[in-house]
Amino acid sequence: MFRFDRAGAAGAVLVCALMATGAQADTAKNYNLFVFNNYTANGTDTEGRVAVGGNATISSYSVGAQLNGSFTGTPSLVVGGDLKFNSGSVSYGDIVAGSISQFNNIGLPNGSKSTGTGPVDFAAEKTRLLSLSATLGAEAATGTTTNYYGGLFFEGSNPGLNVFDVSGAALGSATGFNIAIPTGSFALFNISGYGNGGTYNQMQYFGFGTQADPTKPYPSFSIAGLDSSHILYNFKDATSLSFNGIGVPGTVLAPKAAITLGYLQINGTVIADSVTGPGQINYHPYAGSLLDAVTGGTGAVPEPASWAMLIAGFGLVGAAMRRRNPAYRETIA
C-alpha cells in the first residue's frame, strides 16, 4: 500500500527529477546502442552514441553520423573493456575505452581517443534497467491485442501511454505488426515468455503498419505514420533474441538478452546484455520518460510526462506548501 503525502511532494519530485536526469552518470537513454557486456559488428553503423560495458570488436563501422557539433568533447564511443576498431569513423565526439588493442584507419574528425573510465556506471545501470524492465512488464494492458492468422493488431485509445501484452510465441510467428494509437501518444509492448519451442525470441521477416481492424485489407507494411520515438518494446523475459529481415520502429529494452542482429535496421535505441551482428541502428531517441524512471516505487512513470515539466512545476508545488494547508493523504491500494 502506498501513501502520498502532499506536504512532502516537493522534495520527492526534486529527488526523482535529479536522479532521472542522470546527474551522476550517463544513462542508457543518452545512447543509441547500450550494451552491458560485449559487442561485435562488421560493415554497419550506429547513427548515435554507443556504450559497451565489456569488449567491443568492430570493423568497417561508423558511429555518430546523425550527431552534430554539439557533441564535440563528449564521448560518443564508450567501451568499458578493450576496444578493437579497424576501419571506420566517429563523426562527432570522443572515444574512451578501458584499453585499445587495435585502432587502424579510423576517422576521428571532431574528437580524440583516450583510455580510462568513461561516463557510464554500467553495473548500476544494469541493475536499474533490469528492475525497470520488470516494473514495466507488470503494468496492466490498456489496449487490445488481436492475433489474426499470424498478423498482430494492436489498438489503443489513450492519448498518453498505451500498454499492450504480447506473447513471445505470437511474436516469433508473426506475419505483420500493426499499431493504431492516437497521434502523439506512446506505445509500450510487454513481450513475455518465449517463442520457437521455448528457447529464444525473435522478430523477423514481417512488416509494420497502422491498420487496427484485422478484417480489413492488410496495409502496405510500411513504418510510415508510426513515430519511432514513441514506441518501446520491453522484452522482460528474453535471454536470447534475434532480429532479421525487418525494419523495427522503436526502442528495444532487453536487459537480459544476448541479441543477434541480422540484416535489418532498428529505428530507436537498443539496450541489451550483449549484441552481435551487422544490423544497422538508426538515431531515433526515445521521446518518453519511461527509460528515465527510477524504480523501487509502485509503478512506472506516466507518459508522456517530461522532467522539464516537473522542474517547471517546482514553483507551483512550493507555492502550495507556503499556504501551509493540512497535509492531504491518499491511499492507493
Full-prediction pTM beyond 0.75? yes
User: Helix, strand, coil: what percent of the chain each, to 5?
Assistant: 20, 40, 40
CA neighbor of 55 nearest in space, from 77, 36, 85, 81: 81
What does the pLDDT look like over 213-237, one tens digit per residue?
Answer: 555 444 333 333 568 999 999 999 8
Going by pLDDT thresholds of 50, 70 and 90, the confidence category of residue 204 is low
Q: What is the pLDDT averaged over residues 297-313?
A: 41
C-alpha–C-alpha distance, residues 30 and 57, integer Å = 21
Matching residue, cell 541502428 = 281
Q: Parse the chain into domains and list their residue ranges.
A: 31-115, 129-292
Q: What residues have CB less than 8 Å from 156, skipping those under 6 apart? A: 142, 143, 144, 162, 163, 164, 180, 181, 182, 185, 187
